[in-house]
Each structure stands twice: as structure tokens, then as C-alpha cells.
Structure 1
């Protein structure tokens, strides 16, 4: 049995290794990320106005110089197209930032902007690749030096500025580098072959750098959103906390500007929870709070939300309430459902709930509504618990309509 050539075996293994690396990078480049992360990644692409201008007009100047020196009219056309594409890309950047809402674009809108950015990036990268191809088909070392600087400079810019969207960065890198490499290797000369090897090596290295920067960016954005969510949500139940309550009310008021809506704030206190927590311990108490949060969330309509204020105190906010009866109906339902037994491991626990309700307009002071609902809650507990009490219209000045 003949032995295989060791150098051929090594070359095969290296080829397979390179292919595996590239395939892995490509899969990660086109992998889906959560919508809120993708929106921020796309937004990063539209913060590159200065690099766009520098690279674009450098391409136009280099192509115009080569056209003048060689008499090739097509290079003049390439220069004009490069300048036009650059103006278009800068205009898109300006328009994106001008139209961007305060809270950012929706995922669907962000995706459309991404397609626009990606398409214009591919066109521009192809122009640089074409210029490199033409330069290395010719004999002018000065032109080859200029296009080499342009290719490496723009590739470095892609790695630094567009790595947030590798699905754009990796194809653009190939469009920039491969035409130049193909033209150089076609010269079949030692120095040009060496140049091609170096260019392709840097291209592969750029792939890995883009992948690394992309992973780091996604992790940072994900952590930022996680910390933001923890700051606004109760870690035990997942409901909004006090800060989240204030922000949601402000958002509700903003959305209803221009027309008046009634809003009900229901303050809820669990009757008998302390006895359960003291008797069975905090793990059972925590599980019971989570179950209460689940039942409250299951009773809410779209647009309504529940809040854990701390301990065994909760709030439920009803937006766009038609009248007092609608709020009373939910309050009674809360008392009924929270009074039903909870199955906790091998235990069946029964507690109760007292509810106080305050009704006002969406433009009213949220703190005043919550305070009025809290006072009504104390009245419920004083009346024997497991009941619902409305705040009096005079309990807080900002409540304009109570029925």
C-alpha cells in the first residue's frame, strides 16, 4: 500500500480547516438575533457618515486620476458613479437619523433600512473591487499602489464599522478583495502571486475579526437590555416594579394625547400572606407570589399591566376604562380568583385579597392616582378584607371623574 505524500496530506487538512472556519463564520453572520438587538445593530451602521464620505470621495479621486493618466474613459465613469453612490449613501444616513423616532424604528422598518444600507454597500464595494481589477490588469505600479491602499483601507473600515452586521460586512469584504486578487494572480508572476496570498490571508483574518467584534457587540447589547429590564421589572415575579410603573403610565399618557380616557388604578394587598410566609418559609412564599403574579397577568387585557410594588402589594392598571362598573368588575374578579386555593408542591394554600380602586384621566398625576387607590385599599382592609372599595372623588384633587 503506497504512502500518501505528507505535504499533500497537510495541504488537505489546512484546506479543510480553512473551509470549516469560513463555514462557521458564515453561519454566525446570517444567524438570527432578537429583534431589539437587531434594531440596535442596524442603527450602528447608520452612524458612519464621516467614513462614508472619506472612502467615497477617495475612490472618486483615485479613479479620476487613473482615468486621466491612462486615458481610459470607463475609469472616469467609475469615478462619477462612485461619487454618486457616495452622495446617495450619505443622504440615506442623514435621512435615517432625521426620521428615527425617539424610541427607535420598529423591527420591520429597521429591516428595510438595513436592506437599503446593504445594497448600497455592495455596490460601493464592487466599484472598489472593479478598480483594483483594472489596476492589476495594467502595468502602472503607481495605480496598483493606489488601489492597494484603497482596498486595504476600505476593508479595514468595513471590519471596524460594519462588523455589527456581518451579513453585510462579509460579502462586502469579498467584493472588495477578490476581484483585485483574481487580477493579480492572473499575472502569473512571483511578486503578484505573493501579493495575492497576502491579500487572501488578510481577507480570511478579517472574517475572523468581524465574527469576534460581532459576538462582542451582540453580548454587550443583550446585557444592556437585560440590565434595563431588571431596573424596570421585579426579578421574582417578572412584573413591572415602581420605576416600570411610572414609565408605563407616562407612555400611556403620551399615547392618549389629544383625547381623554379614563384609567383605573387598582391597589391590591394579599390577606393572609404573612401567615403563610412565616409558617412555610420564604421559598413557599416566593412561589406563592409568583403564582399570584401569574393569575393577575392572566386577567389583563392588551394595554393593561400589573405591578409588584413590594412585599405582597400589587397594582393593576386598567387603561381605557369605560366606566366605574368596568373597574369594579375587574376588582371583584381579582378578589375571587386570588381567593381560590393555590397548589404549592404538596400544599394547598388559601389566601385572600383586598382591593382599592382610583379612577382618573390618563393625563392625571400617576402618583396621586396610586395614592388614592392605596387609601381606598386601607378602607377595604378595615371593612373586613376580601372586598373592593372605590376612592372618593375628593381623595385626590387630580381625579376629575369617578363614575
Structure 2
């Protein structure tokens, strides 16, 4: 996942979190609908208005219960994009249901002969639309749908009376609804820009300047989240230590700029292999750490480690040449090998160094690449004219 994708996901998750902070507007609309609805029902002896008012309050209570359920769920486990989408759909159902109740309330009021009821209907529709537009416009599709289902029946019911003043009122509904739609776009764009800037600043403070991978600070924060999930729910995870083989030789031969480019390529290749809840961090030089979430046994960590090593062992196109490196890894599993970051890093490093120390080095033959891109660690045989010698031999370490 790219840095831009991560920022976009972070902004989206924050949007959903902000949606669930709107508790007071829910209470206001539900209470207003119940109180005024019962008053209209008492004045006009209309049973339908009682049903609409009670239904509106029931929807209000259900939405409040949903907010408290969201609080409990987030306290147990931070939101990811998939879970945030589920919570957004649940909240949308509540907002739109309230809009339907408001539309039904207004429609019934305009069909009653009491003009005071018509006035109350207008006040409720305007108040609901203003509050919904302001509070929920960070997710435009939700508030736009809610406006349509609340205002459209009110406009139709007002026009049903077929007189000048009700026509003027319907026109006001249309004008304010259109103004609300424009305001929704403005608030959403402004909020998105602010959250994006904040997320970018946060990312830069927690990212390695060269590779854009998470730095040690971010690694610690992510580890602490997984440690909490382990303690609460028993969800295991793995820590994988990796470093590059022959990076120093390549850096010495081609220069630090080429070494920096290799590290950036390494970061991209590693990131492509990780799931959303995994994290790869650069902790110094050519040393990297991967924290793999939702791991139940050592084989899963070994599988990811081998796939990363295979990816990092592919050629690197540097300054017109294909540079062959390699990589090594060691893993540790929580809680089997420890529960703190220091314990697991130490175990993973021990496994990494054991692999390097105990495995035999092997020599393999590698076919030459195109003439303008010869293979090249300093171990490779390169002709004086820049072309590759016929088969090139390079040291490649096996991975345990």
C-alpha cells in the first residue's frame, strides 16, 4: 500500500469516527419529533401522527444504541477500512431512517386541516435539514440521501394544498435544499483537506525520511496496538528481522546514491507483500523489521519471510545495471517467544544471525542480462567496456 493510499484510508476512518460523535443532534431531532408530534396529535386527534412520532423516537434510540456499540467496538480494536465501511453503512441506515420519519411527519402535518400543524412541519424540516447538513456532510452520500427522503415528501405535501402560501413554502424547501447540497460539498472538501494535511504531518513524523517506511516510533506504536489485542483476544503476531546481503559491497561500488535507491526499491517490494494490518519498518542501514498480524504459528511468519526474501533477491536496476543482492530473515512469534518488542526483536535477530552463521554459502550461475544492463555486485565479472562477461557468477546465500 502506498503512502497516499494509507493517508486516504486514515482520512476515511477519521470521517467515520467523526460521524459517531454526533450524539446531541440525534437527541434533538428525536425529541423535537416526539414532542411536537404528540402535540399535533393531541390538537387534531390524529392517531397516524402518534405512530410517526413514536417511530421517530424509536429510530433515535436505536441510533444512540448504535453509537454506544461503536464506542465499545473501537475500544476493543482500532478501526480498519473494512470495519469502518460496515459502521458507515449502519450509521447511514439510521440517518436515512430519521429522514424518512421527518418526511412522513411533514407530509402528515400538511394533510391535516390545522394550519398550525403546517407551520410546525416547516420548522421541523428546516431544522432537520440544517442540522443534518452541518453534522453529517463529511459523508456526502449519506446526508444527500437523507435530504431527498425528508424534503421531497414535504414539498409534495405542501403543493397538495394548492394555494399561494403553500406553493411559496414548497419553493423555500427547494431553495434551501439546493443550498444545502452546495454546502455539503464545501464542508466535505474543507474537512477532507484538513484531515489529509493532519494525516500527512503525522505520517512524516512517523516515517523514515529515505524510504517512507514507518520509523522506529511508528513501529513501537503499531506493536503496542497488536500487544493490546494479544492481551485482550489472544491474537498472535510475529516479528521478522531482515537485512540485505551484499548491500555494503553494492553501496561501496556504486556509491551512496545508488545505495539509497536500492533501499527505496526494497521498501516498495516489501510493502507490496504485506496485508493491511502488517507493518514494515526501517530501523537503520539495511536493517528492516516486519510485524505480521494475525499469526497463529511459525509457518505463517516463515512463509512471509521467504516471500520477502525472494522479492528482495530479484535484480535491482541501478544506473543502467542490474544489481543482484540477497536477503536474510529471522522470526519470533508472540507470545511464544515473548510479549515485548525488545524480547521479540532479540529472538528474531538471534534467528537471523543463526541463519547467516550456520548456512553454507552457495555459488550459482546467473545468465547475463541485456548488454546495457549487466549484472553487478562487485562480485560479478564485468568487462572493461561495460558489457557482461559470459556467464556471471555471484554469491547467493540460501535462506533457512
Task: Report the TM-score, using the length of structure 2 for normalisation.
Answer: 0.68
Counterpart mapping for 1:196-345 below 5 A:
196-257=170-231, 266=241, 268=243, 273=248, 282-293=256-267, 306-315=280-289, 342-345=316-319
Question: Does the CA contact (< 8 Å) of 2:56 and 2:98 recur in 1?
Answer: yes
Q: Which residue does the alignment assign to 2:153?
A: 179
Structure 2 Cα separation of the partners of residues 173 and 279 of structure 1: 65
Q: Distance in 2 between matches of 1:262 and 1:44?
A: 30
Q: Is the 8 A contact 2:99 2:149 kept in 1?
A: yes
1:66 is the counterpart of 2:58: no
Structure 1 residues 160 and 346: alpha-carbon distance in aligned structure 2, compared to 1, 3 A threshold: same
Q: Which residue of 1 aligns with 2:53?
A: 79
What is aligned with 1:400? none
Deviation, 1:260, is 12
- 1:107-122 to structure 2, matched below 5 A, reads 107-122=81-96
Deviations along 1:54-93, one digit per CA (max 9) or x if unpaired, are 1111111111111122222222222222232222222222
Residues 132/338 of structure 1: CA separation in 2 closer, same or farther (3 Å cut): closer
- Deviation string 1:283-330 (CA, Å, 9 cap, x unpaired) is 42321222344566689899986432234444466887859xx98xx7
Cα gap change, 1:388 to 1:340, in 2 (>3 Å): farther
**What do you get for the CA RMSD once the two structures are aligned?**
4.4
For residues 371-386 of structure 1, the aligned pairs below 5 Å read none
Deviation at 1:205, TM superposition (A): 0.7
Q: Distance in 2 between matches of 1:165 and 1:216?
A: 12
Aligned to 2:282, the other structure's residue is in SS state: strand
Paired position in structure 1 for 2:122: 148
Kindly tell me: are residues 242 and 69 of structure 1, through their superposed partners in 2, closer, same or farther at Cα, counting changes over 3 Å? same
Q: Is the 8 A contact 2:244 2:325 kept in 1?
A: no
Q: Is the 8 A contact 1:260 1:362 kept in 2?
A: no
Identify the residue that residue 397 of structure 1 maps to in structure 2.
Answer: none
CA distance in 2, matches of 1:298, 1:255: 24
Greater shift after overlay, 255-264 or 152-161?
255-264
Q: Does the aligned pair in 2 maintain the 1:262–1:322 contact within 8 Å? A: no
* 1:42 aligns to 2:16 (yes or no): yes
Q: Matched residues in 2 for 1:242 and 1:296: separation?
A: 17
Counterpart in 2 of 1:363?
338
SS, match of residue 100 in structure 1: helix
Partner of 2:385: none
Q: TM-score, normalised by structure 1?
A: 0.67
Query: 11, 32, 52: which is aligned to 2:26?
Result: 52
For 2:234 and 2:113, locate their aligned partners in 1 and report how far apart those are by CA, in whole Å.
73
Gaps of 5+ in 1: 1-32, 381-385, 391-403
Q: Which of 121, 126, 151 lines up with 2:100 in the alignment?
A: 126
Cα deviation, residue 207, structure 1: 0.8
